A = this chain, B = another copy of it.
Amino acid sequence: MNPELIDSLIVKNDTKIVFLIMDGLGGLPNAETGLTELEAARTPNLDCLAKRFTCGLLDPIGYGITPGSGPAHLALFGYDPVKNNIGRGMLEAAGIDFPMIENDLMIRVNFATMDKEGLIVDRRAGRIDTETNQRICKKLQDHIQLSADVKIFVKPVKEHRALLVVRGKNLRDELQETDPQKTGISACPPKALIPEAKATEEILADLLERAGRLLADEEKANTLLLRGYAKYRRFPRMEERFGLKALAIAGYPMYRGVARLLGMTIGGSVTTPEDIISVLRQQYAAFDFFFIHIKQTDSRGEDGLFSEKVKVIEQVDAVIPHILELKPDVLAVTGDHSTPAAMAAHSWHPVPIVLAANTCIPDRVARFGERDCLHGGLGRMPMMHLMGVALAHARRLGKFGA
């Protein structure tokens, strides 16, 4: 089933939907206890939801596929993550909240070190600090002027990483990346891969030449490598597709960026449970859909810190009663993907979900955990269909056919 099938079934309603997303929620058993992070956590409120309502497991992309955060969030919001795969440059731009417009070409930049023969000796310029990065980006921004029709934006990201946005007409992203992927050889030229990209190739070659001259006296970051070319792509907004006025409460830029691409309003960059609840309370009347993003479950998982991830889950559990006080018509608590501490990385495993609504199909799950969710009333389903299920429970979907 195409997740866009629901778009034509949308009906108006004033119900409220809350998605509480613990990034990287899913885990794997601890070698000693045999329990996953979620199973080990004391979660009386989530368990109560599991008991009263319905559970399941969500596959973010597909069997065996480990998702990046971009595609996983698109799936959560009802967008086919494969058909809507965001180019890396665009995700980088979203990640720093860069205000992209139609036709922009976004490019990831790695500052790098080149020797006198022009060979790349360090593809990350010794991981220069972010301050140096900021200084160099400013230098490039201030001193490079291309033709009258073409504007560029050079924005620092972190350490050796930056964002280059080229704004102009007829730009294309079918170009060879210049990162040679190993050291001891020259950077590649930004060669057009199709004839239509020739003009863009020339713009970038010009830009690289000017940048090379400007950076010649830098100790480490004396050149730049271009990767992840991505033309701006407009995603249909959640309001257009689902009639939902959506608010994002997310502390990290990348998630705010993805939310903005889907037309969500950004409701403050907050991270503590108190602040999240406070923003939710303040904005509750003005929106239909609320995306609350908790980053720390993923960060602790990526750091391999099992007990720390357990603690974050317990902190989030404590927030649940405050959300329930607002009486949302649908509350979904889940993750965007799994990040087992045992793997210290994102993984392909399906993600537990508990969905609370008055119209839930009953199951016998009494606790919120991976093993329990296997037997949940939602079964195991592709993540991109969660939005349809949420809209149905919110009585925002009409009948298909007569």
Binding site for B on A (CB under 8 A): 1-2, 5-6, 9, 28-29, 34, 36, 57, 61-72, 81-82, 85-86, 88, 91-92, 228, 340, 342-343, 346-350, 359, 361-364, 370-371, 374-375, 377, 379-382, 385-393, 397-402
Contact = CB atoms under 8 A, between A and B. Distances in A.
Nearest to A82: B5
Nearest to A348: B392
A35 to B, nearest CB: 9
A197 B348 CA distance: 48
Of A364, A385, A387, A400, which is in contact with the most chain B CB atoms at under 10 Å from its CB? A400
B363 A66 contact: no
Contacts of A69: 402
B5 A348 contact: no
Given A28-B359, A88-B402, A374-B375, A65 B6 contact: yes
Contacts of A72: 401
Contacts of A400: 61, 65-68, 71, 81-82, 85
A114 B358 CA distance: 42
Contacts of A1: 61-63, 65, 82, 382
Given A65-B388, A66-B399, 18 more contacts: A5-B62, A6-B64, A9-B65, A61-B400, A64-B391, A64-B392, A65-B392, A65-B397, A65-B400, A68-B402, A71-B400, A342-B359, A343-B359, A347-B392, A350-B379, A361-B370, A362-B371, A374-B379
Contacts of A36: 362
Contacts of A57: 379
Contacts of A91: 401-402
Contacts of A86: 401-402
A348 B65 contact: no
| Copies of the polypeptide in the assembly | 2
B68 A399 contact: yes
Nearest to A365: B374
A67 B399 contact: yes
Nearest to A35: B362
Contact of A371 (B9, B63, B364): B364
Contacts of A397: 64-66, 348
Given A29-B362, A361-B350, A388 B64 contact: yes
B359 A389 contact: no
B67 A385 contact: no
Nearest to A377: B374
Nearest to A381: B63
A137 B44 CA distance: 64
11 contacts: A1-B65, A6-B64, A28-B359, A64-B390, A68-B401, A70-B401, A82-B400, A91-B402, A347-B392, A374-B377, A375-B375
Contacts of A346: 399
Contacts of A375: 374-375
Contacts of A70: 401-402
A398 B345 CA distance: 11
Report, nearest first, the 7 A-B pairs whose CB atoms are least far apart. Answer: A64-B388, A1-B62, A63-B385, A64-B392, A68-B401, A71-B401, A68-B402
Contacts of A392: 64-66, 347-348
A147 to B, nearest CB: 31
Given A64-B388, A374-B379, A401 B81 contact: yes
